[in-house]
Structure 1
Amino acid sequence: MARNPVLFLSFVIVALFIETAYGGEIGVYWGQNSNEGTLSEACATGKYAFINIAFLNRFGRGRNPGLNLAAGHCGSSPAGCSAAINDCQAKGVKVFLSIGGTGGDYSLESKADAQKVADYLWKTTTSAGKEGAPAEFYDDLARSLSAYSTPGKKALLSFSPRCGSFNQQLKAVVGTGLFDYVWIRFYDSFTCSYMRSYQGAMLIAWDNWTAFIKTGKIFVGLPATQDAAEVGYIPPTDATNLMLPSLKSTPKYGGVVLWSRYFDDNNGYSSSIKVAV
């Protein structure tokens, strides 16, 4: 069972010092555990504003695109999720297809290759998200996807880097300014994930990211249980009383994205922090 994807790109925004708190929403990853229920059931809970289907982990360089989902989830093509996606959208839930993930078979070899993958994604879904460490030509993929947008139908894009991932390729991808949502994974990175003994590292990383990203809403990616990540789990009381109040003072704050639906269903994490998000 995959629990720590590598890269997520998704598509489908008198003198008193008063600190403003911005309200947010909750998103979740779904698709990596057969015991997490169906996509329609996840949307029917009313807990999530966003659901990321994880993952399309085979694409590019002439490969036939393929999904890596738990047994019983949608089959090998995003088209297998179409009825559930329509059901979720009718409830107002935005559904993203996350591309990438640990152990996948994917890469892009050129701008033309990026265009082919964009064509496939647009035909199967109108929102996509990139997960993991940025690679070459992902900025071209984002531009190709964004070009499909019309006044009546917008391609929604999201991106999910690790909190400690600053490099030239990442700067090229985020620098396109095309992403509607950026969900930063503040887990499984010892330099910037939450640790009760030292919370400052996470806050410093958050400030760096919010200064770097110029467009879209920024979400805090968190594990929904301690078992869901090697490091970075924030107990609900710490999240509601310590961390989220600090992060919510940022105008770009969008909310929290959880890994994953299975862990959240077992731990009730989203319900525990909802009032603070």
Structure 2
Amino acid sequence: MKTSLLAFASFTGLLASSHAAPLRSNNATTKLSGVAAWWGQGSGASLDEVCGEKSFDIVILSFLDTFFGAGGYPGMNMQGLYSPSPAQRAAGATDLLDGTPLVPAIKKCQSAGKKVFLSLGGADASSKLDSDEQGAQLADTVWNLFLGGTKDAALRPFQNVTLDGIDLDNENHDPTGYLGLVNQLRANMKSDSSKQYYISAAPQCPRPDASLSDDVLQKTDMVWVQFYNNQQANCCNGQDGFLNSLQAWSKAVSPAQVWIGAPAAASAVGDGGYISASTMQAEIAQAKKLGLSNFGGVALWDAELAIQNGNFQDAVASALAS
């Protein structure tokens, strides 16, 4: 996904303000808006630092990149985590990681009102599912290890911390099993009335996405479309291509929200196409004229790069709020 980004291309026009009226959804009842960012694949800002930045509204921990690893449990790859816990090792779940070092930062984020998601997948992930039944099995495992489930409590990477949502970043060009995954995630989430949970997804901008089908995306709460890595696609070529793609995505994923996926720094793309903070602000202002009712905000790859790039997230947040 975002570890080897290519081009954001000509980004001329974003969308409506992040403070648009709430939209009807068949999923989460409380809508989120603002700036989301992935964290966990760089070597820059710590999660604690990211959680202290006011402009980030959603932090997406990346990645759970192996679905069925050692002992039948998932595997993780995340900054600052290096080995399984004693309990994980004893259970044979040696691809899981002891997330204890991140627990204080996650709690800091949540105490500040930020939502913390876990992203499943990534560009180099072992994210293939053979069936909806296997997808449902993964959903139950993720529910118990990271969300509101109670089974395998000793194996939970983040101990008693309950994350706020799950992000789907399938890039293997095979959507098999993901409907079962999202349906079972949603069923588990609805079984816990004590907390509002969310499901997000990150498709590539050419439609239809080869890895995440529309029937899956419509069952999520927010869809942050990757308007990069696709320099040859019409969805990224010039104002008309981008705006047409944006409107098509808005219609296709409703009632889910549509978010703009964007690189946070020039170093996030391999062959140019990054736009400066001032250009981003100007395009956001222009694109508000679209008035898309299900716009949620902007999702940045990634949080570390945004902070290093003069706090790029602040410029985005300011434009969304104006």
Shorter-chain TM-score: which interval? 0.7 to 0.9
**The structure with more strand, counted as a fraction of residues:** 1
Query: Structure 2 vs 1, CA of residues 84 and 29 (structure 1 numbering), >3 Å: closer, same or farther?
Result: same
Structure scoring higher RCO (CA < 8 A, sep ≥ 6) equals: 2
The answer on whether the counterparts of 1:186 and 1:192 sit within 8 Å (CA) in structure 2 is no
Report deviation, 1:79. 4.5
Question: Pick from 57, 64, 73: which aligns with 1:49?
Answer: 57
Corresponding residue number in structure 2 for 1:103: 124
1:1-277 matched pairs, under 5 angstroms: 3-4=3-4, 21-23=17-19, 24-37=33-46, 39-60=47-68, 63-70=72-79, 72-73=80-81, 76-77=96-97, 79-80=99-100, 81-126=102-147, 127-133=165-171, 135-148=175-188, 149=190, 150-167=192-209, 170-174=213-217, 177-190=218-231, 191-192=233-234, 194=236, 198-230=238-270, 232-247=273-288, 249-267=291-309, 268-277=311-320
The answer on whether the counterparts of 2:38 and 2:303 sit within 8 Å (CA) in structure 1 is yes
Report deviation, 1:238. 2.1
Q: TM-score, normalised by structure 2?
A: 0.72
Report deviation, 1:130. 0.5
Report deviation, 1:217. 1.9
Report deviation, 1:243. 4.2
Corresponding residue number in structure 2 for 1:9: none
The answer on whether the counterparts of 1:58 and 1:100 sit within 8 Å (CA) in structure 2 is yes
Q: TM-score, normalised by structure 1?
A: 0.83
Unaligned runs of 5+ in 2: 6-14, 20-32, 84-95, 148-164
Rounded Cα–Cα distance in structure 2 between residues aligned with 1:95 and 1:235:
27
- Report which stretch shifted further, 145-154 or 44-53: 145-154
Per-residue Cα deviation, 1:53-93 (whole angstroms, up to 9, x for no partner): 111000138743111123x2475437444443222111111
The answer on whether the counterparts of 1:161 and 1:185 sit within 8 Å (CA) in structure 2 is yes
Give the residue type in structure 2 aligned to 1:220. Answer: I
Structure 1 residue matching 2:37: 3-state secondary structure:
strand
The answer on whether the counterparts of 2:179 and 2:216 sit within 8 Å (CA) in structure 1 is yes
Rounded Cα–Cα distance in structure 1 between residues aligned with 2:250 and 2:99:
35
Corresponding residue number in structure 2 for 1:11: none
Give the residue type in structure 1 aligned to 2:298. Answer: V
Rounded Cα–Cα distance in structure 1 between residues aligned with 2:234 and 2:53:
31
Count of paired positions: 258
Query: Structure 2 vs 1, CA of residues 34 and 167 (structure 1 numbering), >3 Å: closer, same or farther?
Result: closer
Report deviation, 1:173. 1.4
Query: Structure 2 vs 1, CA of residues 179 and 187 (structure 1 numbering), >3 Å: closer, same or farther?
Result: same
Report deviation, 1:194. 4.8
Identity of aligned residues (%): 25
Structure 2 residue matching 1:211: 3-state secondary structure:
helix
